[in-house]
Chains A and B, each alone.
Chain A
Amino acid sequence: DAGVIQSPRHEVTEMGQEVTLRCKPISGHDYLFWYRQTMMRGLELLIYFNNNVPIDDSGMPEDRFSAKMPNASFSTLKIQPSEPRDSAVYFCASSHRASLDNEQFFGPGTRLTVL
């Protein structure tokens, strides 16, 4: 298995632009997580899905952030409009079985820089 796939790996954009991050979880995994990592705030959970349904989005910073999972093999995290404070590494992770108490497999991350 190729593991969790994220694209793009690096994104540089200007303030105000729309940014879309993509994730393909490991086949057969029921859970998909979006995290943001910064030096100041560490590794934060933004939102997670179970069987394509958003379960907890309390970590989404504000309305500029949105996430979708249209099917079991694809998810997007969109920021519109982007701001410099959104600069971070965004990780997608997936896990299987019917509990959060399982190993999460992280993708390589997308390093976002907003100028």
Chain B
Amino acid sequence: QQPVQSPQAVILREGEDAVINCSSSKALYSVHWYRQKHGEAPVFLMILLKGGEQKGHEKISASFNEKKQQSSLYLTASQLSYSGTYFCGTLVIQGAQKLVFGQGTRLTINP
């Protein structure tokens, strides 16, 4: 039930673009994205609540393809501050609901 993220790690130069994918073998009701910098707590980026939804936050945006059971996070013209590990979380409904996070994608931005 844990969503699968790809790639596991990405190394970019400042200004390059990146795409991080999150997919699930089960139906997706919503997708949550968080970023965690080294030694810090995860910080919320955005939630996508329905299929077809797209959201943006500065140069970070995401899409949610309900039929394909996947979401993608797009980082455009990456900045040094974008470095960190990105987690997607999906709502799992098995009796009680709960949010299950993927393994994370480590993004390194070099000058």
Contacts from A to B (Cβ < 8 Å): 42-45, 48, 55-56, 58-59, 91, 100-109
> Given A56-B96, A101-B91, are A43 and B101 also a contact pair (CB < 8 Å)?
yes
10 further interface pairs, Cβ-Cβ under 8 Å (given A45-B100, A104-B42)? A42-B87, A45-B101, A56-B97, A59-B98, A91-B41, A101-B32, A101-B47, A102-B47, A103-B47, A109-B41
Nearest-neighbour CB distance to chain A for B90, whole angstroms, equals: 11
Q: Which residue of B lies closest to A91 (CB)?
A: B41
A42 touches B42 (CB 8 A): no
The answer to whether B87 and A100 have CB atoms under 8 Å apart is no
- In the complex, which residues of chain A have a beta carbon less than 8 angstroms from the beta carbon of B91? 100-101
Binding site for A on B (CB under 8 A): 2, 29-30, 32, 40-44, 47, 49, 87, 91, 95-104
Instruction: Please determine whether A104 and B98 come into contact, CB atoms closer than 8 angstroms.
Output: no
CA distance A108 to B98 in the complex (A): 21
Task: Give chain B nearest CB distance to A54 CB in angstroms.
Answer: 10
Contact B42 A106 (CB under 8 A): yes
11 intermolecular pairs with C-beta atoms under 8 Å apart:
A42-B2, A43-B101, A59-B98, A100-B91, A100-B99, A101-B29, A103-B44, A104-B44, A107-B41, A108-B40, A108-B41
Is the pair B44, A105 in contact by a Cβ cutoff of 8 Å?
yes
**Closest approach, in angstroms, between the C-beta of A38 and any C-beta of chain B?**
11
Enumerate chain B residues within 8 angstroms of A107, measured Cβ to Cβ: 41
Check A91 against B47 for contact (C-beta < 8 Å). Answer: no
- Please name all residues of chain B whose beta carbon is closer than 8 Å to the beta carbon of A109 when the two chains form the complex: 41
Among A59, A106, A109, residue most surrounded by chain B Cβ atoms (within 10 Å): A106
Q: Which residues of A contact B87 (CB under 8 A)?
A: 42-43
Q: How far is the CB of A25 from chain B (nearest CB, A)?
A: 14
Known: A43-B42, A91-B41, A103-B44. A48 touches B98 (CB 8 A): yes
